[in-house]
Structure 1
Amino acid sequence: MKNILFILVIALFLKPILPVVDYVINYEYISKVLCENKDKPKLQCNGKCHLMKELAKAAETENPKSSDKKSFSPIQEVLFFNEVGSYKLVSCGCSKQPKNRSTYLDFYSYLITNSVFHPPTILS
């Protein structure tokens, strides 16, 4: 039972790699027969075009596009709308703060010291 389960898990993980393995195994056949650019040797395609198509098919089958998902629509619905009027602030001219302060009050002071505080050492 464990062996069958192990083989199934390995097969699921290796499924996206199968087109590459098939390309490596059948390289001569793909490059000579299935290559779309075999008449253009300057491109040096060697069947890579076929490999890309197979990888695209494998990715599409792995992640199919579901039709039940909601499609994106650029139309937006307005759920609530409340018109806001413009307001103008009027100064009453009753401000008690002086308009021009010419003196600067500095009540902050500090002491510059060059010594560094060390906690006391305990001798035992």
Structure 2
Amino acid sequence: MKIIWAHIFILLYVTAMLRPVMPLANYLINQDYIAEFLCINKDKPELECNGKCYLTKQLKEISEEKEKNLPAIAMEDYPIGIMTFTLFEISQDTKAILQTNFQYTNNYRYSYLNLVFHPPSFNS
């Protein structure tokens, strides 16, 4: 029984993850139909839209729906464990310290040796 519930939840998760991709898959499968009947720019063939305007409209609707359904969450209202959210104000002195120029020194040196390592020879 646990395996059945696990498979159901996995199926629901995969379905939720693939939902934003469904208009793209629908466009790829039905591209000819969309270009011929559902295209917004049918009267302007010089744009060579081929239904991409319809795809853009569908993707925009999904993103707007996603934004509309998400509630705003204030993280200050939900402390996590022992952590608390504090706001730090940076004073003018701290800004001056942060804006100081640090001089970069390049201490890296490359020494090229044209020696080839040979293992010790075995003399019998």
| TM-score, reference length from structure 2 | 0.50
Which of 46, 52, 66 aligns to 1:42? It is 46
- Could you say which residue in structure 1 is the equivalent of 2:68? 64
Q: SS state of the match for residue 8, structure 1?
A: helix
AA matched with 1:36: I
Q: Are 1:25 and 2:29 counterparts? A: yes
- RMSD (Å) for aligned C-alpha atoms: 2.1
Higher alpha-carbon Rg: 1
Shift of 1:66: 7.2
Higher helix share goes to which structure? 2
* Unmatched tracts of structure 1, length 5 or more: 70-124
Shift of 1:13: 0.8
- Decide whether aligned partners of structure 1 residues 61 and 7 sit closer, same or farther in structure 2, where only a CA change above 3 A counts: same
Cα distance in structure 1, aligned partners of 2:18 and 2:25: 10
- Could you say which residue in structure 2 is the equivalent of 1:94? none
* Unmatched tracts of structure 2, length 5 or more: 74-124
Percent sequence identity is 39
Shift of 1:39: 1.9
- Decide whether aligned partners of structure 1 residues 10 and 41 sit closer, same or farther in structure 2, where only a CA change above 3 A counts: same
Cα distance in structure 2, aligned partners of 1:6 and 1:68: 27
Number of equivalenced pairs? 69
Question: Structure 1 runs of 4+ off > 4 angstroms?
Answer: 65-69
Give the stretch that moved more between structures: 33-42 or 4-13: 33-42
- Could you say which residue in structure 2 is the equivalent of 1:11? 15
